[in-house]
Structures are given as structure tokens and as C-alpha cells.
Amino acid sequence: MELSVVNLDGTTGQQLAVSEDVFATAFREPLVHQVVVAYMSGTRSGTSSQKNRSDVSGGGSKPWRQKGTGRARAGTIRSPIWRGGGRAFPATARSYSQKVNRKMYRAALRSILSELIRQERLRVCDEIQVSQPKTKVMTDVLAKLGLSGRVLLVTADYDQNVSLSARNLPGVEVVEAAQINPVSLVGNETVVLTADALRKVEASLQ
């Protein structure tokens, strides 16, 4: 299959032949959902923590004798039923990460990229070059390409000028080809790859 390459001035350029095994696969929604959830779970800090009755300070001595006072028996003032006591079932630090096989992860990326092409949300640009790191320059580039809303720009390698120019634009994200992930692909309205970045992505997913 072939994809149209758009020049930086917005005009359509040459056709780029790509592999159907990568960019024309069926959309597997359950797989994509599983991989996206696993990726987002891995970003959770999981540091929530509360104290149980053994963690709360104090409560070492029995508050009153067992019998003869007329009150209910008690062994510590840090019981969960006491004010100032520990939690009965406290939240503890844990890892929310889920295991995803490499084969599943790559299949999910192929599925997402193919669906983006079918929905005409993926564009290939000849190159994305910014002469100087200025937000206004990147705004003009996006305007010439007819892009608005949430946009993901994928470059072949790290470009400092492109990254700095887009950093202050709301809804614009810049990543390298080696760092594309399912959440960024799904969460943006339009995905723009340079021709070199497309080749790198294609090679990594074959």
C-alpha cells in the first residue's frame, strides 16, 4: 500500500510505499484495550499508604483493667474502633504494573496505526524542520499543514528545536519514533510522522 507524503508547505508530494503487515492490519479492540490499560497502570506511582493499629504511635499499655470498671474491655487505645486508632484495612504501597508480552504490544501498535490510517487521522510529512526554537514558528507550521486540536508529532530522532517550539503549545506532543506508545497514539486526534520516522516505526514493528 502507499501513503501520500505532505510537504511542509501543505502541498501533496510523492507516494510512499509501506508494508500492509504493519499499516493495514485488522483493528483488535480487546487487545488494544488491554495494552492501553497495562501501559497506563505502569505509570501509576502506587505510593498510597495508611497506618494500621501497629503503625500508629502509642497504645502500648492497657487503658484500664479488664474487670470491675463497668466499661467494655479494651487492650489498646489504638484499636480501629477508637478515635485516633489505626485503620482496619489500610491502603499500602503497591505496584499496579501488568505484564504484556512484546508480541502483544507490537500487535497493538500495528492495530492502532492501521486504524488511524483508515480513519484518516495519520499523516506523513516529508520533514518537520524548525529554524529556531520559537512557538510562533511551530504554530505557522501546524497551520500550513492544517492541523488543530490534539496533535502528536513523531520525528525520527530527537530534534531540540522542534521539541522546544512545541512545548508551550496546548495539545501538541512531540516524541521520537522509538518512543511511540499506544496511549499517545490513541489519545491524540491526529498523528503526524516524518518519512524517516515512518520507516523507523515500520522496521521496528515488522
* pLDDT tens track for 97-154: 999 999 999 999 999 999 999 999 999 999 888 889 999 999 999 999 999 899 999 9
pLDDT at 42: 95
124 and 22 within one domain? yes
pLDDT at 27: 97
Q: Give CA–CA dist 120/191, Å, rounded.
A: 10
Residue 11 has pLDDT above 90, yes or no: no
32: nearest Cα among 107, 121, 117 = 107
Number of domains the chain contains? 2
Q: Give CA–CA dist 23/14, Å, rounded.
A: 18
Query: 123 pairs with which residues across the strands?
Result: 192
pLDDT at 71: 97
- Domain stops at, among 59, 92, 125: 92
**Nine cell digits for residue 120:** 484518516
Residue 9 has pLDDT above 90, yes or no: no
116 and 87 within one domain? no
| DSSP run (H or E) holding 163 | helix 160-166
Between these two residues, 206 and 74, which has the higher pLDDT value? 74
pLDDT at 68: 96
Q: Give CA–CA dist 174/177, Å, rounded.
A: 10
- Domain stops at, among 92, 117, 150: 92
Q: Looking at the chain, which runs of residues are DSSP E strands?
A: 2-6, 12-17, 122-125, 151-155, 172-176, 190-194
- Cβ of 34: how many Cβ atoms within 10 Å? 16
119 and 55 within one domain? no
Q: Give CA–CA dist 187/175, Å, rounded.
A: 14
70 and 142 within one domain? no
36 and 20 within one domain? yes
Mean pLDDT on 183-191: 96
Residues 126 and 196: beta-carbon distance below 8 Å:
no
Q: What's the pLDDT tens digit per position in 85-94?
A: 999 999 999 9
189 and 87 within one domain? no
| Structural domain that includes position 27 | 2-43+99-205
Residue 205 has pLDDT above 90, yes or no: yes
pLDDT at 23: 96
Percent of the chain with pLDDT over 70: 100
159 and 58 within one domain? no
**Nine cell digits for residue 102:** 512484546
- The average confidence (pLDDT) of the chain is 94
Residue 36 has pLDDT above 90, yes or no: yes
70 and 117 within one domain? no
